[in-house]
Amino acid sequence: MNKIKSLADLKKLQTEVQSKIKLREMGDHSETLIQIKVSMATCGIASGAKETMSHFIEELDHQGIDVIVTQTGCMGYCYAEPTIELTIPGQQPVVYGFVNKAKAQEIIEKHVKLNEMVDGIIPVNYSSIDN
Whether the CB-CB separation of 39 and 81 falls below 8 Å is answered with yes
Binding test (CB under 8 A) with other proteins, winner from 49, 60, 67, 75: 75
Q: Cα 57 from chain centroid?
A: 12
Measured CA angle at 85 (ends 83, 89), to 5 deg: 170
With binding defined as CB under 8 A, does residue 63 bind other proteins? no
104 near other proteins (CB under 8 A): no
Q: Strand (E) positions, 1-54?
A: 34-39
Neighbours of 67 (CB within 10 A): 18
Q: How far is the CB of 45 from other proteins (least distance, A)?
A: 7
Q: What angle do CA 101, 39, 112 make, to 5 degrees?
A: 55
Residue 3 DSSP class = P
Q: Does 77 bind other proteins (CB under 8 A)?
A: yes
List the one residue from 36, 39, 82, 108 that touches other proteins (CB under 8 A): 39
Q: Select from 29, 31, 66, 128 the one that contacts other proteins (CB under 8 A).
A: 128
The reply to whether 65 sits near other proteins by the rule CB under 8 A is no
Binding mask 83-102 for other proteins (x = CB under 8 A): x-x------x----x-----
Task: Fill in the DSSP letter of residue 111.
Answer: I
- Using CB under 8 A, list all residues that contact other proteins: 1, 3-7, 9-11, 13-14, 17-18, 20-21, 37, 39-43, 45, 70-80, 83, 85, 92, 97, 113-129, 131
